[in-house]
């Protein structure tokens, strides 16, 4: 991941391309995920972060299971 500091924000770009995900911007109380050319994104505040990580972990577990049992 490439991380740039811009005006006190950490702007992260994935090394491995993720379709339409171009940047994540981290500020003190929130993170913003932005897509390319579609104008859509996802904004999470600090209170939502733990639930978001749990959600991603659950998806990851389902993907592992699906790959082991095609």
pLDDT tens digits, 2-42: 888 888 788 888 887 676 677 788 888 889 888 766 667 88
Write out the residue range of the structural domain in which residue 26 sits.
Answer: 2-68
User: For residue 31, which of 51, 8, 49 has the smallest C-alpha distance?
Assistant: 49
Q: Identify the three-state secondary structure at position 15.
A: coil
What pLDDT was estimated at residue 52?
93
Number of domains in the chain: 1
Q: Specify the pTM.
A: 0.69
What pLDDT was estimated at residue 56?
93
40-64, pLDDT tens digit by residue? 788 899 999 999 999 999 999 999 9
What pLDDT was estimated at residue 1?
79
**Which residue carries 């095609």 as its tokens?**
70
């Amino acid at each position: 991941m490439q991380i740039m500091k811009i005006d006190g924000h950490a702007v992260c770009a994935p090394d491995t391309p993720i379709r339409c995900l171009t940047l994540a911007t981290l500020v003190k109380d929130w993170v913003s995920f932005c897509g390319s050319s579609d104008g859509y994104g996802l904004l999470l505040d600090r209170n939502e972060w733990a639930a978001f990580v749990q959600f991603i972990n659950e998806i990851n577990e389902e993907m592992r299971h699906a790959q082991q049992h095609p």
